[in-house]
Amino acid sequence: MKRFFKRGSAILTVLAAFGAVPADAEEGNATRGAEAYRACVACHALEPDLHLTGPSLAGFWGRAAGTAEAYLRYSPGLKEAGFEWNAAALDGWLADPAAMIPGTFMVFRGMGDGQARADLIAFLEIAGAPGGGEKAVAAGLIPASWVSATAPQPIGDAPPQARVAAIRHCGDSYFIATEDGRETPYWEKNIRLKIDSVETGPPPGTPVILTAGMQGDRASVIFASLSDLKTVIKEGC
């Protein structure tokens, strides 16, 4: 096995157990791996600097683990692991992330099929290189929409009925006033308060309400910052 660790004998032990593709496995197939990657789209984008539940995988191949710029949600173990992402490291990680990095925040249980891992790694070697998302699309491996994965659509210029002017909390209810002059009551448990501080979010000082549910009785209110949330919501009956 290629030596790529700066430190971490425990991780080396795990890779010795999980990190070798079975002898009867074929060489990894990137086309099959792209199909397996479908499950990764829920949490990872291939667009640079676009972090979702998990970090962007743009340019991750050969990068030190736990070091994607501006991604703040790594577990302590992954930040301190001291290895670079390559085929051997990925094989161990994809086999059993929790065994490789105890306490990892990644909820993926692992892939027991060595051939499936080899296929996914073959795809990730392409997609995880600089410009790899575009290369994977150009090669017909994935649709273009997978590059940005599940990133929310930019809110943009919301209409008056979606722009929130004030929120009043009283008892078990939120009373949400919008810029079209209406005030609508909601059960407090049907309202989600969210912050989108990047470019997909609303303009500062102008939260937006997005309704959901079959009857439109559930909604998310999106704020550009925590300070906006504190400013807009008031307690009062």
Residue-wise pLDDT for 105-126, tens only, equals 998 999 999 999 999 999 999 9
C-alpha distances in Å from residue 188, one per residue of 44, 191, 197, 210, 219: 31, 6, 23, 15, 10
Q: Do 141 and 43 belong together in one domain?
A: yes
- Range name among 1-10, 76-85, 210-219 with the lowest pLDDT average: 1-10
- Do residues 187 and 206 lie in contact, with contact meaning Cβ atoms separated by under 8 Å? no
Q: Do 132 and 231 belong together in one domain?
A: no
Decide if 170 is inside a domain.
Answer: yes
Average pLDDT over residues 144-167: 94
Q: Do 142 and 169 belong together in one domain?
A: no
Res 140 pLDDT > 70: yes
What's the confidence (pLDDT) of residue 10? 46
| CATH number of the domain enclosing 75 | 1.10.760.10
Taking only the tens place, the pLDDT of each residue in 218-237 is 999 999 999 999 999 999 99
Decide if 2 is inside a domain.
Answer: no
Decide if 4 is inside a domain.
Answer: no
Quickly state the pLDDT bin for 26 (edges 50, 70, 90). confident
Q: Do 20 and 129 belong together in one domain?
A: yes
**Comparing C-alpha atoms, which of 37, 40, 38, 60 is closest to residue 48?**
60
C-alpha distances in Å from residue 91, one per residue of 113, 154, 156: 11, 36, 41
The number of domains in the chain is 2
Average pLDDT over residues 176-187: 97
What's the confidence (pLDDT) of residue 23? 46
What's the confidence (pLDDT) of residue 17? 44
Q: Do 134 and 185 belong together in one domain?
A: no
Q: Give the span between the Cα atoms of 94 and 87, in whole angstroms.
A: 10
pTM above 0.85, yes or no: no
